[in-house]
Amino acid sequence: MKILFLVLFILSNNLNDNCSTFYLIRHAEKIRVDSSDRDPDLNEKGKERALRWSEYFSNIKLSKIYSTNYKRTINTVQPLASEKKLEIKLYVPSEIEYEEFMSTNKGESVLIAGHSNTTPFFANALIGEDVYSQIDDFNNSNLYIVNICNNELNHRLIKVE
């Protein structure tokens, strides 16, 4: 009986190694004073949302955090990265090879911070179909969750205010 339990335990752990979860968010609210500024920082509401994202993910095990190389995206995930003691890995949305990204992050639980146009596109690329459209420019509360476990794919969009 102990051997059977041990075999089942090992098998279940090996199956879970094949599970990948991708959490995708858009950066928090940005300063909108100068429309020509391509790299604005977060405004006060955005800094509060960054802390709320950190609280939201505090009990979720994350192994990696990715962000575009903009102040607003980096500063959205910085409180969480500090709390979890994770390095923020930078990526360029137009240069992502999605199959390679999924392979590299197989078995991982990953947070990806992007933009109103890149985040839904990234989620669509992970699930292999066009389900999600561009985020409204004043919506910073979308959380896309893509879970791939033993070749079964599930995804959903929730609002986190």
Per-residue pLDDT of the chain (161 residues; tens, 9 = 90+): 444 333 334 444 444 568 999 999 999 999 999 999 999 999 999 999 999 999 999 999 999 999 999 999 999 999 999 999 999 999 999 999 999 999 999 999 999 999 999 999 999 999 999 999 999 999 999 999 999 999 899 999 999 99
- To 10 degrees, the CA torsion angle through 104, 107, 109, 111? 20
**pLDDT at 5 (0 to 100):** 39
Q: Is 30 among the domain residues? A: yes
| Total domains present in the chain | 1
**pLDDT at 91 (0 to 100):** 98
**pLDDT at 38 (0 to 100):** 96
Q: Is 11 among the domain residues? A: no
Cβ(103)–Cβ(110) below 8 Å: no
- Domain carrying residue 73: 19-159
CATH number of 37's domain:
3.40.50.1240
Q: Is 3 among the domain residues? A: no
The C-alpha angle with vertex 125 and arms to 119 and 126, in degrees rounded to 5, equals: 90
